[in-house]
Amino acid sequence: MCSSDLIAAAGQPAAPPAAGSTTAPEPGNVPPPTAMTPLNLSVVTPGQAQVGATFQVTVRAANAHDLFGVPLQMQFDPKVLSLVGVDAGDLLGRDGQAVALTHRDDGEGAVTMSLSRPPNTAGVTGDGPLCVLTFKAVAPGTSSLSLVRVGAQDSHQNKLPVIGGQGTVRVTAGGAPPHQ
């Protein structure tokens, strides 16, 4: 055993690696979230609907990297819109894996959703629809549909940086929509 091994073995720091050499990353060493491009969630609406009509709003994800699970909450105007249902989009299940989706209508124009892939599966990478919400237009007016709470995890349950978006729907009374 050489003297540098004895020093390192005695709890003293070993000599730094030689210039140009590389060291293997520690297991579980994940780059800090700020080093990654954030997951961008956008709200895609039809822009306009008539009272009594049902329509779909898609939450789209862009820049997904090893995306495994997404909890989120959307806020909307309950005087203008009524939630009919929530379905999973294609992104999390694009490789044929089942997607677990739970949602709760919190009342007062808030819906909380959680989407995740099965345990012990890799996350997905890419862009696409995360979930599709169906609404009914109940009264004339304008409603924003805002992602007010968003989160994301990778397949190792690490938090991912995420940015939430919003969209708007203008509900008109029956007949031809007004010109803008």
So what's the architecture of 49-158 in CATH?
Answer: Sandwich (2.60)
Q: What sign does the CA torsion over 86, 91, 94, 98 have?
A: negative
pLDDT in tens, 114-126: 999 999 999 999 9
> Which pLDDT band, with edges at 50, 70 and 90, does 174 fall under?
confident
Dump pLDDT digits (tens) for 130-144: 999 999 999 999 999
What Rg value do the Cα atoms of the chain yield, rounded?
24
pTM of the model: 0.77
Could you state, in order of their start, the residue ranges of all structural domains in the chain? 49-158
| Token pair in block for residue 36 | 């990654």
Number of Cβ within a 10 Å radius of residue 38: 15
